[in-house]
Amino acid sequence: MTSHLGAACRAIPAEWGRDQQGGWTPTRWFPEPHWEVICPECGDDGGPRELQASEILTRRGYYETQLEARAAANRHAVGLE
């Protein structure tokens, strides 16, 4: 069983920009957000969903509530997902 302590949940951004180092940064969120799980240890760079591989999107999920996303991130962090 592998742990992924970097797993976290966040609201899904509606728009993206680039920061000074060229990395992705959210610039706007949806008024009623949905949530996803990000895990850098699994290769997720945290960028826009449309630029991610299908394996990353499967791991990110699409959660209606922050509570659901936190539970999924916790399960992933301890190696259950």
pTM beyond cutoff 0.85 = no
Residue type, 72: A
The pLDDT of residue 2 is 55
| pLDDT given for residue 81 in this prediction | 67
**Spans of the chain, pLDDT less than 70:** 1-4, 81
pLDDT of residue 3: 56
Tell me the two tokens of residue 10. 């966040």
pLDDT in tens, 33-43: 999 999 999 99
Between CA 35 and CA 57 the distance in angstroms is 12
Residue 50 DSSP SS3: helix
Amino acid of residue 27? T
With 0-12 CB in 10 A as exposed, 13-18 as middle and 19+ as buried, what is 1?
exposed
